[in-house]
Amino acid sequence: MLFHDRTHAGQLLADRLVPYAGQPDLLVLALPRGGVPVAFEIARALHAPLDVWVVRKLGAPRQPELAIGAVAPGGVQVLSSRLIAELGIPPDELDHIVARERAELDRRLTAYRSNRPPVDVRGKTVLLVDDGLATGASMRAAVASLRPLDPARIVVAIPVADSAVCTRLTQQADQVVCLYTPPRLDAVGQWYEDFSQTTDEEVRNLLARTSGQ
C-alpha cells in the first residue's frame, strides 16, 4: 500500500504539480466521487479553483467493478468493444446500462453543482484528477468530453495507474502525471490503507470549502 488515504495521495500528487502553482488560468477538475478528496488537496496546495467533472463508468453485468466503458457530459461515450464481445453483452443490455449510468450522471451533476452554471474550461489549463486508474475508461471519457470545450491544456493527474493505461492516456491528454505505474493494476483500493467510499455529502463539503462558501 502506497497511500494512507485519498488525502495523503492528494498531498503527494500536489508536490509533483508545484510547477503549475499560481497560474491564473489553472482549474482543478475532479472525477467524483473518489477523485474529489485527492483534487481538494491539489487545489489547496496550488491555490486553484476546484470543481467536478462527472463521468460514469459502465460496469459489466454481474461484474460491476469491471469497466466496459464510460459516459461523460456532452453525449460522450467510450466503449471497450473487445470486452463487450468477450462477455457476450447483447445490444439491448448495453443500452440499458448506458441509460442507467446517464441518469446517475445527471443526478450527480444536480447533487454536486446545483444551479451553478456549467464549468468554463475555455483557454484554461485543466488538471483532471482521480484517485487511481485500472482500465482508464472513465478518464478517457473525461478527456474526450473536455477537448471540444477548447481548454488550453489538459493534464491528467493520478496517484496510481496501470502503466499501459498511462501510456494510452498520453495520446489523448497534453500531459499525464502519475506517481506510481505498476505493470498490472487490478484494483485501485489495493494501493490505499483506507479506501472507504466517498459520499455525496463529502463531495459537496469539499467543494464548498475550496470555494470559500
pLDDT number for residue 117: 85
Which range of 6-15, 55-64, 181-190, 204-213 scores highest in mean pLDDT? It is 6-15
- Sign of the CA dihedral with 110 first, then 140, 100, and 132 last: negative
Mode of pairing for the β-strands spanning 26-30 and 50-52: parallel
Does residue 75 sit in helix, strand or coil?
A: helix
Q: Is residue 132 a contact partner of residue 188, using CB atoms and an 8 Å limit?
A: yes
Q: How many CB atoms lie within 10 A of CB 91?
A: 8
Average pLDDT over residues 95-114: 92
Mode of pairing for the β-strands spanning 76-79 and 63-72: antiparallel
The pLDDT tens digits of the residues spanning 59-81 come to: 999 888 888 999 998 899 999 89
What are the start-end ranges of the H helices in the chain?
A: 6-16, 35-46, 81-87, 91-113, 137-146, 163-169, 200-211
Q: Whole-model pTM?
A: 0.92
Residue 78 DSSP class: E
- Per-residue pLDDT at 208 exceeds 50: yes
